[in-house]
Amino acid sequence: MCPLVKIEIRKGKSAEYKKAILDGVHKALVDSFKIPDSDRFQRIYELSKEDFECPPDRTDAVTIIQIIIFPGRSLEAKKKLYKKIVHNLGLNPGIDGHDITIILLEPPMNNWGVRGGQPAGEVDLGFKIDI
């Protein structure tokens, strides 16, 4: 059960646009963090322009991606993730990298209750985190 992805965009985008964002972020996570392809917890929040303020040099494609992950990934893996997300979303749906902000949050393993309420630090997750 990792990572948990929250994506905030402005209202008015098509279903195809939103699916492209979800797919692009997930592909970047699989490629960069080597998570199982089936490990996909993602949400898109759409906000009206008056509820989503941003600097004037951003466009209506402004996108904030917040990813909550287990701690342990290297800085190199994180850099790879950032670049892959920006690359993927640049290709489809065509978001300029300047409009994308990515935030990683890493609560300690024992702050996650997973698989029936067990602390994540006590569970065999089935994949490596320290990449």
Task: Yes or no: say if 56 and 20 are a contact pair by the CB < 8 Å rule.
Answer: no
26: pLDDT strictly greater than 60? yes
Q: Which amino acid is at 87?
A: H
Average pLDDT over residues 105-117: 89
pLDDT of residue 124: 83
Q: What is the mean pLDDT of residues 117-125?
A: 85
Domains along the sequence of the chain with CATH: 4-122 (3.30.429.10)
Q: Give the pLDDT confidence of 86-98 residue by residue, as tens digits.
A: 999 999 999 999 9
**Please, where are the H alpha helices in 5-47?**
15-33
**Beta bridge mates, 6:** 43, 66
Report percent pLDDT > 90 for the chain. 78
For residues 40-61, give the mean pLDDT.
96
